[in-house]
Structure 1
Amino acid sequence: MILIVKNIPSASQEDELADFVAPALRFCFWLPFKIGRILKTDIFCLKNLKTNVLSFHGRVFIDDDKAGRQAIKKLHGKRFKNKIVEVREYFIRSGKNDRRAGQQIVTVEILDKRKGDRRCNVKHANETPIHTNVFDTRNVYQVSRRARNEFYDE
């Protein structure tokens, strides 16, 4: 399991991060054996392009999933070098599973339509649509009250 430790101080070292996580991997406070091992740690920096703010995060690779879940519970919201950190599971995303990758390009015609038009697929005509959501109060093209009453009387 891979843990991500968010919001760590900028002067942090990888061995300090490992020393922070290691006590959370112990089975019990007074028992000396551990249920998981730290395989590797690394620290990376992300830069927000809009605000030019740097944020530092650490990844901790642990060999056992149960130990990783226990470490998340013990370390989330704790202080690391006088800064409160957030500990979560790190997920590796695959490009194949991204729903946005295969989307069709939206045409300008669709973008220019009003919200009510997109929901009902109604063309600008004088006739009322055959099927519409009569309970949608935001819809511009609602069926008249008389038409609704006739519909429910059938």
Structure 2
Amino acid sequence: MILIIKNIPSITQESDLGDFVAPALKFCLLFPFRLGNILKTDIFCLKNIKTNVLSFHGRIFIDDEKAGKLAIKRLHGKRFKNKIVEVREYFIRSHKNDRRLTQKPVSMDLLEKRKGERRCNIKHEGKTAAYTNVFDTENIYQISRRLRDDFYDY
């Protein structure tokens, strides 16, 4: 099982992360044996493009499913180096299950509404491209540019 620990401090080392999770894998105080072992730890950083803020997260690879669920229950909402962390199961997503691949094309009427007042003097003919996507801003811009070039001669 893979655990993700969100909102960890930037100065965290992988050994610190392992030391934080190891006590949560113990069965109880009377029995000193562990349910699972930590196989690997790693830390990664995500950058929010809009706010330019870095957030650090850690991944813990545990060999036992039951031990992972117990660690989630014990560590979620706890303090780690003066920060409250969120602990969850880490899911590896498949590109085959991506909803954006199976979306229907968006009509030009909706695209015109989304643009709002920016280009109120340009009207498109109503041609829709087969590859237009709601989240694909590059294609929307290129389609409008291509259609604009068809309307105006240089």
Aligned-pair Cα RMSD in Å: 1.3
Q: What TM-score results when the alignment is normalised by the length of structure 1?
A: 0.70
Which secondary structure does the structure 1 equivalent of 2:92 belong to?
A: coil
Following superposition, the deviation at residue 109 of structure 1 comes to: 3.0
Larger-Rg structure: 1
User: Which residue of structure 1 aligns with residue 15 of structure 2?
Assistant: 15
Deviations 1:95-129 (A, max 9, x none): 1011221223212135558xxxxxxxxxxxxxxxx
User: Which residue of structure 1 aligns with residue 62 of structure 2?
Assistant: 62
Please give the alpha-carbon distance, in whole angstroms, between the structure 2 residues aligned to 1:29 and 1:111.
Answer: 61
How do residues 1-154 of structure 1 correspond to structure 2 at under 5 angstroms?
Answer: 1-111=1-111
Gaps of 5+ in 1: 114-154
Following superposition, the deviation at residue 32 of structure 1 comes to: 1.1
Following superposition, the deviation at residue 58 of structure 1 comes to: 0.2
Following superposition, the deviation at residue 91 of structure 1 comes to: 0.6
Please give the alpha-carbon distance, in whole angstroms, between the structure 2 residues aligned to 1:29 and 1:77.
Answer: 21
Please give the alpha-carbon distance, in whole angstroms, between the structure 1 residues aligned to 2:100 and 2:43.
Answer: 29
Percentage identity across paired residues of the two chains: 74
Please give the alpha-carbon distance, in whole angstroms, between the structure 2 residues aligned to 1:30 and 1:16.
Answer: 25
- Structure 1 residues 54 and 31: CA distance shift in structure 2, 3 A: same
Q: What TM-score results when the alignment is normalised by the length of structure 2?
A: 0.70
Please give the alpha-carbon distance, in whole angstroms, between the structure 2 residues aligned to 1:68 and 1:56.
Answer: 21
Following superposition, the deviation at residue 16 of structure 1 comes to: 0.5
Gaps of 5+ in 2: 114-154
